[in-house]
Amino acid sequence: MNKQPDAVFVGAGHNALACACHLADRGWRVELFEQATTPGGAVKSGEYTLPGFHHDWAAMNLSLFAGSKFHRENASSLARHGLTFAPTSHPFASAFPNGRWLGVSTDVALTTARIRGFSEADARAWTELTEAFDGQAEQILGLLGSPMKFSAFASFAWKAHRKLGIGGVLDLARFLTMSPRAWLDETFETPQVKAMLAAWGMHLDFAPDVAGGAVFPYLESMAGQAFGMVLGAGGADTMINAMVRLIEERGGKVHCNARVAEIRHMSGAATGILLEDGREVHASRAVIANVAPGALVKLTEGTGDAGYDRKLSSFHHAPGTMMIHLALSALPNWTAPELKRFAYVHLAPSLDQMARTYAQAKAGLLPDEPVIVCGQPTVVDPSRAPEGKHILWLQVRMVPSKIKGDAGGAISARAWPEAGPAMADRVMNILEQYAPGTSAHVLGRHVVTPDMLEADNPNLVGGDQVCGSHHLHQHFLNRPARGYADGTTPLRNLYHTGAAVWPGGGTGAGSGMMLAEKLAGK
């Protein structure tokens, strides 16, 4: 007779998988139930265009996972189960309309020389940032890696005060509340340097003028120079497959095509789950939901705490994104050939263009010039395509989840199934301006619209790939609601994990690992 699991999971995204791995290693019996045909949530790979061309569905950059506490503690076991990274020393660049470009590589002198080509003053500023990075990163990453309870927050503030003094703490607090534009205008003088760094804010719902967004362009640029970027060899799902095998090795189970209809609870405590097929699974110690906040309220039919339920039901999601997967006979013929060596090329030429794009998407308009993240994984990992062939991973930021109009005045459709191909054509036309002739090399194209992203993974509400805005009102102690940033909920034995819970989006598995340590006592 099978024993009742200690913990059952709703969803098998990478945070749930990391949490389950850690608990299973501490002797917990774990079972995960995933509504999709494969685990991993937004981290999955497949042949979406043509046979032999392996694309990442949504997430591609695994740098956060490679540097995470979870990976550090499980690196050898994950490698034994097939996890293989494909690193690059040329992580990202930005292309500009006049044929100029700027990129960050792990060669500090080379990166600094590129910046010096635009401005001597900006090269000096970059050098100052580089020299100060170790000390700054210790404080910022220490905060981002801390459990977000008031006691932990207070402890961090006290340690920072002892190390930095009151002036240093105030400077850090000021920086953490700055918008990307405010910090960039204060630090650099040339529009191109500012645009190259500001593009990273758009990955996490931080347009140039949104408070609290400066930290992400800073960290991504400095970390990119210090460590490069890491992709998954053969596809991002190498990390998911390895975690699933590790869970199974430790006695756990991952069930796919298993949609949860209800989280059962009584007398103020969660007891298990009800599947859509009628099966009930009881949990002796914990029910852990890797779901969007609104879904948690629906699955419980209310937790009994009206304030908490209201916060989760009104949780703010970021604008949508759109993915375009291309199979190519050759890499894009960039007007700057050096761009062929970079994992990411941002087509986001100015702060004003990024701000306009964000405002248009928030207003329900298809942007006339969306920000395009052009991923070139076959530059780093040729195994993803047949010999001599390539793939492109185009992430379009931002687009509206519901279309009210077209800022470009050319697309009349108001539903994504009809508007998607036309919007993809607009993206391709923009790409042609930077890399003429790319369209002639397209062997296959697969367009993934915001409604397709949500249909595939209900956590990506409206195509929001980071499961919720990271603006200050909904971050730190407030993610997803004040008092519950540690994954607890008003129901005993019910816990919440995933990108909607502190520390938020990305592939670092932070919320899953922190919750596992909380439950298992480290």
**Residue range 84-105: average pLDDT?**
97
Q: Where are the beta strands (DSSP E) in 158-214?
A: none
Tell me: the pLDDT tens digits for 227-248? 999 999 999 999 999 999 999 9
Angle at 324 between CA 322 and CA 330, to 5 degrees: 155
Question: Above 60 in pLDDT, residue 513?
Answer: yes
Q: Tell me whether strands 286-289 and 494-496 are parallel, antiparallel or unpaired.
A: parallel
Q: What angle do CA 49, 53, 56 make, to 5 degrees?
A: 80
This prediction's pTM: 0.96
When pLDDT is cut at 50, 70 and 90, the band that residue 145 belongs to is: confident
The pLDDT tens digits for 336-394 are: 999 999 999 999 999 999 999 999 999 999 999 999 999 999 999 999 999 999 999 99
Compute the average pLDDT of residues 178-207. 97
Lowest mean pLDDT among 133-147, 157-171, 252-266, 322-336: 157-171
> 299: helix, coil or strand?
helix
The pLDDT value given to residue 328: 98
Structure-token pair, residue 55:
């694309």
Number of H helices, E strands in the chain: 17, 21
Q: How far apart are CA 169 and CA 184, in angstroms?
A: 20
Q: pLDDT per residue over 150-175, tens digit each?
A: 666 666 666 766 777 887 777 888 99
Q: Where residue 515 falls among pLDDT bands split at 50, 70, 90?
A: very high
Domain boundaries, the chain: 7-43+59-84+235-315+468-520, 106-223, 316-456
For 10-45, what is each residue's pLDDT tens digit? 999 999 999 999 999 999 999 999 999 999 999 999
Per-residue burial over 298-320, b if 16 or more Cβ lie within 10 Å, else e, is: bbbeebebeebbebbeebebbbb
pLDDT band at 138; cut points 50, 70, 90: confident
- Asked whether residue 194 carries a pLDDT value surpassing 90, the answer given is yes
Residue 31 phi/psi, 5° resolution?
A: -140, 135
Query: pLDDT exceeding 70 applies to what percent of the chain?
Result: 98
Q: How far is CA 185 from CA 122, 133, 170, 193, in A?
A: 11, 19, 20, 10
What is the arrangement of strands in the sheet containing 280-282, beginning at the earlier edge strand? Answer: 260-266, 269-275, 280-282
- Position 54: which residue type? H
Side chain identity at 155, as an amino acid letter? S
Buried/exposed 201-216: b ≥16 CB within 10 Å, e otherwise: bbbbbbbbbbebbbbb
What pLDDT is recorded for position 172?
84
Question: Which CATH class for the 316-456 domain?
Answer: alpha beta
Q: How many residues does the chain have?
A: 522
Give the CATH number of domain 7-43+59-84+235-315+468-520; options: 3.50.50.60, 3.40.50.300, 3.40.228.10, 3.20.20.60: 3.50.50.60
Residue 2: per-residue pLDDT: 65
Query: How many whole angstroms separate alpha carbon 519 and alpha carbon 71?
Result: 19
* Residue 1 reports pLDDT greater than 60: no
Average pLDDT over residues 404-412: 98
Name the β-bridge partners of 55: 46
